[in-house]
Structure 1
Amino acid sequence: MRPSRYLTGAALHALLCLPYASPAAAEKFEVTLPIDGRTSLIESDTAAVYYPDSKKSSPFFIGNDGSAEGGFKVWEIYGPQGSPKEVGEYKTGRTKLVEILYDDAGDLLVTLSMSDGLIRVFELGKDGVVGDAKGQKLVRGDFSAICGLKSAEGGYVYVLGKRWGYKFLIREKLSKGRKVKAVEIVETQEFGIPIEPNSCTVSPDGRVFFAGDNGKLFSFLAVEETAPPKVVEVGEPAGGDEIKGLKIYHGKKDTYLFVGLEDGIEVFDIKKLGSSLGTIKFADGDLELNDFAIYQRGSKSHSDGTLIYAGENDDGAFFGASSLSPLFESSKLKVNTKYDPRDCAPKGHSKPKKCAALSDCNGYGYCPNDKKAGTCDCFPGFAGKTCNKITCSDNCTSSSHGKCTGPNTCTCVSPWTGDKCATLAVPAKYETEESGGADGDDPAIWIHPTDKSKSRIITTVKSEVGSGLGVYDLRGKRIGGVSGGEPNNVDVLYGFDLAGRKVDLAVAGCRADDTICIYEITSTGELVDVPGGVQPLPTAVKDLEKKFKVYGSCVYHSPKTGHYHIFINSKSSLYLQFQLSTTSDGKLNTTLVRHFYAGNRGQVEGCVIDDPNSRLFLGEEPYGLWSYPAEPDEPAVGTLVDNTVVDGGKLHADVEGVTLVYGKTKQEGYIVVSCQGYSEYNIYQRYPPHAYVMSFTIPNNDERGVDRVTNTDGITAVGTGLGSEWPYGIVVVHDDVNEAAGGGVRSDATFKILGLKDILGAKVVEKLGLLKGVDEEWDPHN
């Protein structure tokens, strides 16, 4: 991986010649746009508008479908009664990102599916999507922004995610008659970025702007080179609020940057990004904006163009349309309805250099800037003087693991898999029955006090529909559950003294109402309500962070004091530590005893606590795995266990679930971490220096009819023996898209179950003796 290059502050203006204006006292406009039409409910995240080449054709927009069975849909912008008219639906799997590339030989739609990590390319025409351009490429990672630009060779797309980005060249392979036969997708650049962006856009002069949760706006030049771009911080155009979307409005003379926030859109002159020109609001005051697109051409109903947006209100998520006329009538912005995205390519991509002496780099590199160099600057995965050789990172680990059969493409020898054939493939034995909801997360395992084979798996459903906790046996059969307020993570406390009774408790952070949800676990593994089982956050939390939202959670039983604790976090990385007790009348009670911001203040969620060693392990999604003291009277000073690959570590963002397997001593055992973007799991030694052990993933188990794990989130594991079938315990992981036998998917999320012995005791790692580090007699009741 190449290192990233970041610049901040004044360096921006020297590099990009951007005059930065302090907020001006000039009067700003504020306009409210009526919602002229909306689609039916759909899990909407991103939208892209298509400008047909023929002025007689109706304009279209393409919106993603983020549901498990999703893909994308196509709508005519101006349908009956003003609402968009759906004209096409394409089931490519849960899709988050869509973008359009314009080319003289044919316009293309680019999508990225979260379920399989495939970039797909489709042909576009006057009737919308007119065919599959037969172009696909696997891109592994958790990506959240896509933007494209035209070039003389075809088009480029930037795909950006948690602190990492790729640039792909998408060019057409033409048959006679200039019709698209297929497209080739070639990676030309990979680089680090300082944040996880929600959106990106490209300006007419070839600058890529991106922004995300922290409200900061960044930029780099879109030039034809393989070296990482120089990323510069532009500022905080929205005053630090989360930026949901970015789009360029192409004026006749001026260029405007539209910055989407949850409750509206701020408008800036791209030359004066320090001062907002005004604000766009929506007539629906409950609307929460996710993303938007701009169609600049006029129509009878929208003479000055149309704003298309992905949003949601109390009814659910949808795509909406509003006329831009009120904006131009109420502001000094200059309308331009003559814009055509086919007109020109940004600087740096208009006339690619030729180097005949180097065979034009065989199309897989750029000609050297220094004519005396005599060697092409090759794309990732290519090498040689003329880029005529293919290479693979780390050479596919070793010849016994796999062979390099394409640019950065390894063909692995079973049971190895992954980019470098360094990941062990371990099929799951079982999966849980459907959960009743589309979105699960971090599960837990409750160990039966007398018969461990009767232990239970407790899972979460954090989606609004089906929200609550499910209870399953060790083969995935559902035997119970309770409804709850969108619990994200669940954990188990053993032996809590409740009004003179020793009880086990299931504890979760419930996002629906920002509460701590607690249930008693009966001796047979059922969940029942308990007095004080819904604990609201104290008012003091709002003094710490006004917009604190419950997200992840985990629990701790102190060996020092015997007290029980609950950790709750928010996306902002603020951790709250509560002590759990009972009131005089036998009700549960929580008291805030410590708070701190974790890691680099990136988004957090999953956590687990090593009770005997009093250590909290937490995943910071963009940065890595951290360890903190768990005692409330200790300073919250973190130690980085491992970071993500962008910083030279072994974890792939985003770092999600964290679980612990106990050993026979306080020094033995393992930490297991879920990497969502890769659907892989890293294993580390439990005790410092927390050496990396191995990674594994979960493929299809054709013999048992259990599908692979995709876009994984939460994880839990225990090493204690749970009967003859599980002599070294089990691992339970969340599966995002539950693929059905024979094709298609099922709408409800499931969890996969596999034996810890199958991972640590697999033949290819048997000589490492990893099972010796597991305590198969561990019992949390003792």
Structure 2
Amino acid sequence: MKASYNLSGFLLFSLLGSISPTIAADKFSIKLPISARTPPVESDSAVVYYPSKSKFSPLFLGNDGSAETGGFHVYQLPQKRDGSVVKEVKAFKTGRSKLVEIVYGEKKDFVVTLSMSDGLLRVFEIDGKGVGVVKAEKIVRGDFSAVCSWKSGVGGYVYVLGKRWGYRFLIREKKGRRGVEVVETQEFGIPVEPNSCTVSPEGKVFFAGDSGKVFSFLAVEETAAPKIEEAGELGGGDEVKGLKIYHGKKDTYLLVGLEDGIEVFDIKELGSSLGRIEFDDEDLEVGDFAIYQRGGKGYEDGSIVFAGEDGEGKFFGISSLTPLFKALGKGKVNTKYDPRDCNDGHTKPKKCSSLSNCNGYGYCPKKSRDKKAVCDCFPGLAGKTCTKITCPSNCTSPSHGTCTGPNTCTCIPPFTGENCATLAVPARYETEESGGADGDDPAIWIHPTDRKKSRIITTVKSEVGSGLGVYDLKGKRTGGVSGGEPNNVDVLYGVEVGGRKVDLAVAACRADDTICMYEITPTGDLNTIPGGVQALPPAVKDLEKKFKVYGSCVYHSPKTGAYHIFINSKSSLYLQFQLSTTTDGKLNTTLVRHFYAGNRGQVEGCVVDDENSRLFLGEEPYGLWSYDAEPDQPAVGTLVDNTVVDGGNLHADVEGVTLVYGKTKKEGYIIVSCQGYSEYNIYQRYPPHEFVMRFSIPDNKEKGVDRVTNTDGITAVGTNLGREWPYGMVVVHDDVNEAVSGGVRADATFKIVGLGDVLGNKAVEGLGLLRGVDEEWDPRK
């Protein structure tokens, strides 16, 4: 029945759900059946639309995070609990997306979504009949994972939050002419990467992420960064998947979504949960969710729409809220809620005619009649009445670009980016399609005798097509091997196995939490090898019960000659294993060190400088760190660079890390990928690791190679790989594989860039960067 999404046949008591007591007498526990669901879709976030007129049926919108069909879907919210498949009204292919939200305006309502592929925040008009065409667009740079809205008398606000950075935008109709505009009104740092956010009737914004802690701040109409406070560890230490407000008649409830249920809190007393909502599908994992408070046939007390995943895949599900109000008490239900209602004084904007009301691009000061008073201008605007436009770093003027709008630079090629400080270097080639939708961190294997025959090894970490791919230096596929969703891959050279020396491709395989290794043949093929799949030892669960393999990198010690493998989890716990072989030629690993990295934010990408015995790792929300790679040394980290939130040069999220060797131990470069910006930072390899430059990879129309979007993993070598690659190459992951003829292809590819095209580019040739590369570097010496 599940395969056909036919959930009919429930008895009445099953439809209403069940209520059971918990250990605490005053805490309820309920289970909700899934009364309807959508066909499979890459679900992350959902939002319900309340039509302004009762004659229209309610709608709900859900994101689509897939590469090929990414965007959002519009569904009819079911009014009967008959187990039917949810009817889709329309789908919008705007690019792979995690976020979708409704913004209620003064006269019109809007849908806001943010595409990871092009960084465009798109605004659509919505009414009871459905969603129309795009009304406005704005570039938003960064990796964002949470969105919520707040109604004001000047329009609708939307908060977009990501890895320790947030924006607030005003969505409003243009005065005196048709159209909609998106105006940035605030940008600010946040302490965590949130998965969800929501706004209370009093204008308090709540957000939360992996740690289980919930934070809050007031949605005040000013441009200064808000004061953020910790509201409590409402997730009990578990990752918070969703946050929503239930607007009661007198009471307001905060619903905190976890993977296996939803905790319900009275917003006035967040110290203890009133009870817990669970679902009757034991295999179900719940993500973000939305609440519809109005009643209807079959859902008299409203409904809950959630992003879910079970044995059938990912989908959006719907359940009735009636069991919740059987537990809370029928007097708590409010089916007259209208999100268009004004809540408090926040919705009454101040006027300051003496300052031309800040021309609509700023907030009036408290003492606007003071002769020295000036407007509180939105980002990118300045002056007494907000009439002067400004840009970051003045667009690195005059040689790189000019400021043509609020925080809007028009760059002079080959420069690009938010302040025209990023060098645009197109790829020469891209790999053939990988056979899977999600790739990550690649590696380059250098041939022992003929460098032109070197190979690129890539990962497919999605369930479909999972494994490693092998390509020549122009991206033609030459081989590959299936594997358990490998996330990162690296190469160990010259490992002695059974009396012979072999090269190994080493990866972290997420499907079964193993270290997976393959022999690289002299022709660059991949073969299985005895002991090639290494399970984590029981001691790991003693360190962290929920440890899940995520990223990896390798190390060949110049001090002892030993080979090492680093494995990490999202929690930032690093495990260091020493690789050995048994007498019969079987690979074996031994845990020799463990430590938590950085500020204990999420980690993944790493690389080891063998010559200097230094491990470099990316902490996604915070920056790049360096550690001693030897297992007998203290795990004391040195911050190489942090994110712009803390005054550094990196943009979160900090993802892949790779290394280019120089002629000496003090020469060479570290290259770091910044996923949210699809840019790459280059640093000097040796301390103090000075920041060198930043580059991105645009379309190469001549070669028919598309740009790099939402980049993740990266690898590079400076070795001369033949006439076309005298200074080696850089290979990067491309999240959205855009077809030259338009549209998106389902399978991921990797882009191949000449390292000489980056470091020796005419725009930066005066820096002499190619002198820091060792074209004769041999990993076997």
How many angstroms does 1:370 deviate by? 2.8
Aligned residues of 1:45 and 1:290 also touching (Cα < 8 A): yes
CA gap of 1:151–1:24, structure 2 versus 1, over 3 A, is farther
Match of 2:150 in 1: 149
Matched with 2:171 is 170
Matched, 1:219 2:219: no
Q: Distance in 2 between matches of 1:454 and 1:57?
A: 64
Counting only pairs closer than 5 Å after superposition, residues 668-707 of structure 1 correspond to structure 2 as 668-707=667-706
Q: What is the alpha-carbon distance in structure 2 between the residues aligned to residue 57 and residue 679 of structure 1?
A: 42
Report if aligned partners of 1:133, 1:183 keep a CA contact under 8 Å in 2.
Answer: no
- Contact kept, 8 Å, 2:79 with 2:296, in 1: the verdict is no
Q: Deviations over 1:731-769 (max 9, x none)?
A: 000000011012111111100001000000000111111
Give the secondary structure class of the aligned counterpart of 1:259.
strand
> Is 1:126–2:123 an aligned residue pair?
no
In structure 1, what is the Cα distance between the partners aligned to 2:109 and 2:409?
32
Please say which of residues 503-512 and 80-89 is displaced more in the overlay.
80-89
Q: CA deviation at 1:516?
A: 0.4
SS at match of 2:323: helix
Q: C-alpha displacement at 1:584, in angstroms?
A: 2.6
Give the drift of 1:84: 1.8
Q: Which amino acid aligns with 1:409?
A: T
Q: For the residues of structure 1 that align with 2:545 and 2:760, how far apart are their CA atoms?
A: 48
Indicate which of 81, 102, 119 corresponds to 1:100.
Answer: 102
1:26 Cα deviation after fit: 5.1
In structure 2, C-alpha distance between the alignment counterparts of 1:57 and 1:136, rounded to whole Å: 28
1:336 to 334, 338, 362: 334
Alpha-carbon separation, structure 1, partners of 2:108 and 2:300: 28
Tell me which of 187, 195, 200 is aligned to 1:198.
Answer: 195
1:54 aligns with 2:53: yes
Question: Distance in 2 between the 1:726 and 1:549 partners?
Answer: 38
In 2, distance between residues paired with 1:115 and 1:781?
39
Q: In structure 2, how many angstroms separate the alpha carbons of the residues matched to 1:56 and 1:414?
A: 54
Q: Which amino acid aligns with 1:107?
A: D
- Output aligned runs, 1:126-525, within 5 Å: 126-129=128-131, 131-173=132-174, 181-332=178-329, 334-348=332-346, 350-371=347-368, 372=370, 373-525=372-524
**1:11-22 to 2 correspondence within 5 Å?**
none
* Alpha-carbon separation, structure 2, partners of 1:488 and 1:191: 32
**1:397-426 alpha-carbon deviations (Å, 9 max, x no partner):** 121100000001000001010001000000
Query: Residue deviations 1:55-108, cap 9 Å, x none?
Result: 121111000000112110010111784432111111111111011011231111
Q: Are 2:652 and 1:647 equivalent residues in the alignment?
A: no
Residue equivalent to 2:753: 754
Q: Structure 1 residues 442-451 or 83-92, which shifts more?
A: 83-92
Contact 1:213 1:242 in 2 (8 A): yes
1:546 aligns with 2:548: no
1:174: how far off? 6.1
* Partner SS, residue 766 of structure 2: helix
For 1:116, the equivalent position in structure 2 comes to 118
Deviations 1:381-401 (A, max 9, x none): 001111011111110012110
What residue identity is the alignment partner of 1:439?
D
Inter-partner Cα distance in structure 1 for 2:672 and 2:377: 35
Structure 2 CA distance for partners of 1:553 and 1:335, relative to 1, 3 Å: same
What is the RMSD computed on CA atoms of the aligned residues? Answer: 1.2
Residue type matched to 1:252 in 2?
K
Q: Are the aligned partners of 1:162 and 1:197 in contact in 2 as well (CA < 8 Å)? A: yes
Deviations 1:443-473 (A, max 9, x none): 0000000000000000000001000000000
Secondary structure in structure 2 of the residue aligned to 1:642? strand
Q: Structure 1, residues 27-69: CA drift from partner, whole Å, max 9, x if none?
A: 2100000000110000000000001111121111000000112
CA contact (8 A) 1:149 1:345 kept: no
Instruction: Report how many residues are paired.
Output: 754
Shift of 1:346: 4.9
Q: Deviations over 1:498-530 (max 9, x none)?
A: 011100000000000000000000000000000
Deviation of 1:144 (Å): 0.4
Measure, in 1, the Cα distance between the counterparts of 2:326 and 2:266.
17
> How far apart, in 1, do the equivalents of 2:536 and 2:154 lie?
56
| Contact kept? 1:133, 1:182, Cα under 8 Å | no
> Does structure 2 conserve the Cα–Cα contact (< 8 Å) formed by 1:151 and 1:346?
no
Could you tell me whether the CA contact under 8 Å between 2:79 and 2:299 is conserved in 1? no
- With structure 1 as the length reference, what TM-score do the two structures score? 0.95
- Per-residue CA distance 1:522-555 (angstroms, 9 max, x = gap): 0000000000010000000000000000000000
Structure 1 residue 330, shift from structure 2 partner: 3.0
Aligned residue number for residue 75 of structure 2: 75
Given that 2:105 and 2:172 are in contact with CA atoms closer than 8 Å, whether structure 1 keeps it comes out as: no
What's the secondary structure of 2:228's corresponding residue? Answer: strand
Deviations 1:429-456 (A, max 9, x none): 0000000000000000000000000000
Superimposed CA distance per residue, residues 273-308 of structure 1 (whole angstroms, 9 cap, x where no aligned partner)? 110000000011111111100001111111111110
Deviations 1:361-390 (A, max 9, x none): 111111112332421111000011110111
Could you tell me which runs of 5 or more consecutive residues in structure 2 were left unpaired when the two chains were aligned: 1-21
Whole-angstrom CA distance in 1 between matches of 2:224 and 2:209: 24
Which 10-residue stretch deviates more, 164-173 or 74-83? 74-83
Whole-Å Cα distance in 1 between the matches of residues 67 and 611 of structure 2?
40
Determine if contact 2:79/2:297 at 8 Å carries over to the other structure: no
Unpaired segments of 5 or more residues in structure 1?
1-22
CA separation in 2, counterparts of 1:279 and 1:337?
Answer: 21
Superposed displacement of residue 125, structure 1: 1.0
State the percentage of identical aligned residues. 77
Q: Partner residue of 1:660?
A: 659
* Aligned counterpart, 1:89: 91
Deviations 1:721-740 (A, max 9, x none): 00000000000000000110
Distance between the aligned counterparts of 1:611 and 1:110, measured in 2? 47
**Equivalent residue, structure 2, for 1:19:** none
C-alpha distance in 2 between matches for 1:520 and 1:357: 76
Query: What is the CA distance between 1:175 and its match in structure 2?
Result: 6.9
Deviation of 1:585 (Å): 2.3
**Is the 2:147–2:158 contact (alpha carbons within 8 Å) kept by the matching residues of 1?**
yes
- Secondary structure in structure 2 of the residue aligned to 1:758: helix
Q: C-alpha offsets along residues 184-235 of structure 1, whole Å, 9 cap, x if unaligned?
A: 1000000000000000000000000000001110000001000000000111
* 1:244–1:262 contact (8 Å) kept in structure 2: yes
